[in-house]
Amino acid sequence: MEFGLSESQEFLKDSARKFFAGECPSVEMHRLMETDTAYDDVLWSKITEQGYSGIIFEEAYGGVGLGKVELMLLMEEAGRALLPGPFFSTVALAGSVLDAVATPAHKNQYLAPICRGDVRATVALAEAKASWDLKDVQLSAADGKLTGEKLFVTDAAIADFIIVAARDGVFVVEPKARGLKISPMSGMDLTRKVYVVEFNNTPAEKIGSSADLSRAFDIASAALAAELVGGMQRTLDLTVEYAKTRKQFGKPIGMFQAVQHQCADMYLETESARSAVYYAGWALEENSPDATIAVSIAKMYASDAARTVGNRGIQIHGGMGFTWENDLHLYYRRAKASETAFGDATFHRERIARLVIDSGAASAKSA
Amino acid sequence: MDLNLSPEEVRFRDELRAWLLANVPPDWSAWREKPIEESFPYLRAWQRKLQEGRWAAVSWPKEYGGRGATLMQLAIFWEEMARVEAPPMANALGLGLIGPTIIAHGTEEQRKRFIPKILSAEEIWCQGFSEPNAGSDLASLQTEARLDGGHYVVNGQKVWTSYGWVGDWCELVVRTDANVPKHKGLTVLLVDMKSPGVEVRPLRQMTGETEFNEMFFHDVRVPVENVLGKVNDGWNVAVSTLMHERGAYGARLHPLFKRNINRLIELSRKFQKNGHTAAQDPLTRQKLAQCYAEIEIMRLNQLRAFSRISATGAPGPEGSIQKIFWSELNQRLQQIAQEIFGAYGQLLGGDSHAVDKGIWSYGYLRTRGNTIEAGTSEVQRSIIGHFVLGLPKSY
């Protein structure tokens, strides 16, 4: 058993951190969030040149063939930089869905261009009920045409294709397809835009069964949790730095235990979320029997912890934490959006309860 | 990162499993309900047996009677011990804290003299750290040791001493120089509890038990050979003991927590809440799931910390997050149990209506001590703030 990162994992994490810090510093993130789509062609092509868009996919489709732990590390570093744009939507989400449900021919058609960095994509899942339970999907196809609406679809306006979860299958819709309407929602997170996607007798290509979506759902959930960990780490770092330098009553405020102990809690919450996320990545990679529970534990814990860490960080920054100029609120906004996406803590706790209370798995597993 | 057991870990686990299967006494469940004073010889005998198989201190170096086991193997050890509900070992502090400190800081003579009898439970160890006026501020302790020829003469009082009543030897922190800053005048002495002038009194705690003691030292003479580490370097020696306490304890506790949550889930199917079973009650389900998840995270934090310690060589201040995590989690677990049991939760062991013979009502009270013993949560947060995050010292 070895829970430390391997040398190559450390290298990936380290180079991703440097890459995002260099290519997407705070000022660039601010610039992009002021745009309609939070997307920039140049930044995107730099990301894909790194091979990041193919990170977990098979080499047969032009991917890098690394594991889910590596995806977690990459998402963590993207989260630290509050990376705007469609990396999560395209890779962790659309890529994972294609990987899980599509035939080799469809993978060549849709996944390979993602790996190459030629396209951006997203997945439309939640509907008016804002439920992330795959069983709650109502939209269905008639004669290969979709009618209905999807909400909270990330990066839809810049997607080269949209993958749609329907009752009777998983479909691909082209952006210029007849009857497709994409309208922005005013989400709190300025760095990742969300949209309403409406279909009116819209032609769609079926690429797989919706029964196979759950693994992709788990990978996307874990990836979001990993991204939250990166945001928490950044919030912690900024807050500790501030607590060291800001002086009141003639002392750095970090000397006061009321402040210091909150920083300690931020550290505890960040590290605990990180443990849960890395393990979820590993369990997914190994197809471990407890992978689904591990994902729910990670998403549940990170969803709550990111909010709490944000609360503490803003509070410790005092008035500065409440200003628009300070980056903390941008992380806080992302944390709120990611908390609810793919199931909030309540959703995942119920998922855990079903697995350990109702099915009696609690006594089955002892690792 | 690979959380599969390595072939060597599998071998270790299988060898231990086979040994436990052949050697775990079948009658522990009857003994465990008796007062500790009565069962203590039984626990000594069990530890002796474990050490006959070289299992009492697996993580110690082979030359000192251990197996040179890795921390991961140590985690496996506690997992397996819990799985077969093996009795605890009599010399818990000697094995977990004081032995490793003697191995790290002791002379070769001290190691030869003390280590074998720690392992065999022939000599039970206790720890003399806290004092009535030195709890969190341990370094301000006042028990003094004055050099008199070849002996230190010790006077003072210690409190909250586990195993004091049965202790043969004590790792005692004393002040050997009152004229330097408080951390720099401390020394650790290994004290024979049978020395003239040592008096041990029971200390009754809020559970009604006397798990701890007060110790009084009146002109107790300790030979200078029994200084552990260097004179006036006692703070570093004591901190190394405390780091062991914080660093690995979670691995030992995790299997017990896991057993508790599984039992609680089982019980939640029997108790009624708002017109259905607690297991069906949405709020209770949320709380049980949260607790289940946190117990898993406690395990993962511990394994990650073990990997870090293996890389750096010694437990560090980040061990404080384990201490905060397990102690506060244990309190939350007991609180959920109380919510599930309702009025039954308060019933003590002797009551025929008590849940599980009163272990939960006891646990509810006992866990209040978890966030105080072995360094309060406040002290742990200050350690993280200063030593991990680099914030200025707040005390």
Radius of gyration for the alpha carbons in chain A, expressed in angstroms and rounded? 20
A150 and A124 Cβ atoms separated by less than 8 Å: yes
ipTM metric: 0.96
Count CB-CB contacts under 10 A for residue B83.
14
Is the domain of A16 the same as that of A113? yes
Is the domain of A256 the same as that of A340? yes
Between helix A7-23 and helix A68-80 the angle, nearest 10°, is 30
Conformational region of residue B127, where left means phi above 0, alpha means psi within -120 to 50, and beta covers everything else: beta
The confidence score (pLDDT) of residue B245 equals: 67
Distance from CA of A139 to the nearest CA of B (A): 28
Domain assignment present for B395? no
The residue-averaged pLDDT of B113-132 equals 97
Is the domain of A156 the same as that of A217? no
Span B369-386, pLDDT tens digits: 999 998 999 999 999 999
- Tokens, residue B342: 């309702």
**Low-confidence stretches of chain A (pLDDT beneath 70):** 360-367
Q: Which of A365, A307, A294 is nearest to A340 (CA)?
A: A307
Select the residue of A3, A267, A366 nearest B1 (Cβ to Cβ).
Answer: A3
Is the domain of B202 the same as that of B244? no
B372 and B330 Cβ atoms separated by less than 8 Å: no
Which of A76, A296, A357 should be substituted to probe chain B, the one whose Cβ sees the most B Cβ atoms within 10 Å? A357
**Domain finish residue from B57, B87, B119:** B119
Q: Give the H or E element holding residue B155.
A: strand B151-162
The confidence score (pLDDT) of residue A367 equals: 36
The type of residue at A148 is: G
Report how far residue A49's alpha carbon sits from residue A111's, in angstroms, rounded to the nearest whole number.
Answer: 16
Is the domain of B260 the same as that of B205? no
The confidence score (pLDDT) of residue B250 equals: 84
pTM (two decimals) = 0.95
Is the domain of A184 the same as that of A223? no
* Beta-strand relationship, B144-148 and A247-248: unpaired
B41 and B33 Cβ atoms separated by less than 8 Å: no
Count CB-CB contacts under 10 A for residue B133.
11
Select the residue of A278, A293, A346 nearest B1 (Cβ to Cβ).
Answer: A278
Span A99-149, pLDDT tens digits: 999 999 999 999 999 999 999 999 999 999 999 999 999 999 999 999 999
Is the domain of B285 the same as that of B369? yes
Judge: A362–B393 Cβ closer than 8 Å, yes or no. no
Is the domain of A126 the same as that of A112? no
The confidence score (pLDDT) of residue A366 equals: 39
Judge: A353–B289 Cβ closer than 8 Å, yes or no. yes
What range defines the domain where residue B226 resides?
Answer: 125-232
Span B134-186, pLDDT tens digits: 999 999 999 999 999 999 999 999 999 999 999 999 999 999 999 999 999 99
Is the domain of A235 the same as that of A109? no
The confidence score (pLDDT) of residue B244 equals: 72
Is the domain of A150 the same as that of A266? no
Is the domain of A357 the same as that of A242? yes
Domain assignment present for A1? no
The confidence score (pLDDT) of residue A139 equals: 97
Q: Number of Cβ pairs closer than 8 Å across A and B?
A: 168
The confidence score (pLDDT) of residue A364 equals: 41
The type of residue at B218 is: H
Between helix B234-268 and helix B282-312 the angle, nearest 10°, is 150
Span B333-348, pLDDT tens digits: 999 999 999 999 999 9
Span A284-336, pLDDT tens digits: 999 999 999 999 999 999 999 999 999 999 999 999 999 999 999 999 999 99
Domain assignment present for A2? no
Is the domain of B347 the same as that of B279? yes
Q: Give the H or E element holding residue A364.
A: helix A361-364
Is the domain of A178 the same as that of A242? no
Judge: B392–A261 Cβ closer than 8 Å, yes or no. no
Report how far residue B296's alpha carbon sits from residue B329's, in angstroms, rounded to the nearest whole number.
Answer: 11
Report how far residue A123's alpha carbon sits from residue A195's, in angstroms, rounded to the nearest whole number.
Answer: 11
How many residues are present in chain B?
395
| 3-class SS of residue B63 | helix
Which of B5, B83, B382, B391 should be substituted to probe chain A, the one whose Cβ sees the most A Cβ atoms within 10 Å? B391
Give residues with Cβ within 8 angstroms of A237, minimum separation 6: none
The type of residue at B31 is: W
The CA-CA-CA angle for residues B236, B237, B238, to 5°, reads 90
Is the domain of B254 the same as that of B213? no
**Is the pLDDT score of B316 beyond 80?**
no
The β-bridge partners of B153 are B146, B221
The type of residue at B36 is: I
**Domain finish residue from B74, B98, B119:** B119
The type of residue at A88 is: F
Q: What are phi and psi of B229, to 5 degrees?
A: 75, -155
Radius of gyration for the alpha carbons in chain B, expressed in angstroms and rounded? 22
**Is the pLDDT score of B112 beyond 50?**
yes
- The overall average pLDDT reported for chain B is 95
> What is the count of structural domains for chain A?
3
**Is the pLDDT score of B12 beyond 70?**
yes
**Domain finish residue from B209, B232, B255:** B232
Q: What CATH number is associated with residue A163?
A: 2.40.110.10
Which residues of chain A lie closer than 8 angstroms to B1, CB-CB? 2-6, 9, 69, 278, 282
> What is the count of structural domains for chain B?
3
A62 and A183 Cβ atoms separated by less than 8 Å: no
| 3-class SS of residue B192 | strand
Judge: A4–B307 Cβ closer than 8 Å, yes or no. yes
The type of residue at B311 is: A
Alpha-helical regions (H) of chain B: 7-23, 28-31, 36-52, 71-83, 92-93, 99-105, 108-119, 234-268, 282-312, 319-341, 359-366, 377-383
What range defines the domain where residue A325 resides?
Answer: 212-362
Report how far residue B173's alpha carbon sits from residue B164's, in angstroms, rounded to the nearest whole number.
Answer: 15
**Domain finish residue from A160, A194, A210:** A210
